[in-house]
Amino acid sequence: MLAGMAAVNPEVCYDREGEVIYRRKKAEKVGIVSGGGSGHEPAHAGYVGMGMLDAAVAGNVFASPDPARILNGIEHADSGRGVLLVIKNYSGDIMNFEMAADLAADMDIPVRSVVVRDDVAVKESTYSTGRRGIAGTVFVHKIAGARAEAGGTLEEVAELAQRTADNVRSFGVSLSSCILPAVGTPGFTIGEGQMELGMGIHGEPGIEQTAMKQASEIAEIMVEKITADLDYSGAETAVIVNGLGGTPLMELYILAGEIDQKLRAKNITPVKYLTGNFMTSLEMAGASMSMLRLDDEMKQYLTAPCGTMAWKEG
């Protein structure tokens, strides 16, 4: 899979040993590294390129890459100005990325981390790992990447990345499960005519199963869940209407139209939309909405140029 991604994108190289996709031309700047289990394409390798990630590290399907691979990614991304790790909040990812950060520190590579926990379907809790990181992570890749491209120091890039992570919320709905290739059968099923609200991108249980709803009702639920968790009133925002892998783009546009109406009715102004497959769950049917509350600095870097396979700007 990664070999294919490198074959179709001349801007990146594939390190087969370390399962890392990295920028062909190493830039003299803070490096940005992300990664995680496979099965979420185009995340994360599709975001490697100018203005976003410098390296993406892939694990097996839905499993974190090990620290040696992540360290390899850090080394590919490091130009002497330090490296920022963008991590989605799963216990496996956290442990492996933190271990890699320790190993990098032993090699005198300065490393900072930001953990994304945007999924409002999960309650924050002191015991469990807490909120999952899902498609909102892509905003962190973009804004941190642009800040680094503009010459920001590791401190500056990490601060803005953290602020972006703090201001993004997401909520997803699923209409079908997905099948891990190594297992061959679905880990769970959703009945015909049913949908699950708040399911995770690995098929983790959501908050409720309900009868299939119209796009307008789904949009209503997404907007309500997200705006109940963070005050967006009067704000400019950026929105990802994300397909989970098995949803036609046509349906995503229908959903985006409904979301836009609901937001404007709430005096929220979306200034930037991304509609398509940005963080998927194999062939799962369903969609998620992620919304970022923008400030001037975030907006500036959100719209700055980037050139990756999955997101091009300018």
Partner 1 sequence: MGFQITPKEYVDYIILAGEEIEKNGEYVTALDAKTGDGDHWVNLNSGFQKLISMQEELKTMELAPMLKKIGMTLMSAIGGSSGVLYGSGYLAASKALKEAGTLDIDTLYVFLQTELNAIMERGKAKPGWKTMIDSLYEGVEAYGAAKEAGQDERQVMEALKRGAQEGRDRTREMEAVKGRASYQTHKGVGELDPGAVTMCIQLECLSDYILNHKL
List contacts with partner 1 (CB under 8 A). Answer: 60, 63-64, 66-69, 91-92, 95-96, 98-99, 102-103, 127-129, 205
For 117-141, b/e burial (b = at least 16 CB within 10 A) is bbbbbbeeeeeeeebbbbbbbbbbb
Please report how close the Cβ of residue 92 comes to partner 1 at its closest, in angstroms.
Answer: 5
83-88 vs 31-38, strand pairing mode: parallel
Q: Between 7 and 107, whose beta carbon lies closer to partner 1?
A: 107
Q: Between 55 and 219, whose beta carbon lies closer to partner 1?
A: 55
Let me know the angle formed at the C-alpha of 211 by 207 and 214, rounded to the nearest 5 degrees: 105
Residue 40 annotated among the catalytic residues of the structure:
yes
Q: Between 99 and 215, whose beta carbon lies closer to partner 1?
A: 99
Q: Between 80 and 205, whose beta carbon lies closer to partner 1?
A: 205
Please report how close the Cβ of residue 65 comes to partner 1 at its closest, in angstroms.
Answer: 9
Please report how close the Cβ of residue 72 comes to partner 1 at its closest, in angstroms.
Answer: 11
Catalytic one of 44, 76, 141, 202: 202
Catalytic one of 40, 44, 76, 141: 40
The CB density around residue 10, as the number of other CB atoms within 10 Å, is 8
- C-alpha of 277 from chain center: 11
Please report how close the Cβ of residue 291 comes to partner 1 at its closest, in angstroms.
Answer: 28
Residue 93, token pair as written in the block: 């990812």
What is the rounded distance in angstroms from the CA atom of residue 168 to the CA atom of residue 290?
7
List residues bridging with 116 in a β-sheet.
Answer: 88
Residue 76 annotated among the catalytic residues of the structure:
no
Active site residues: 40, 202
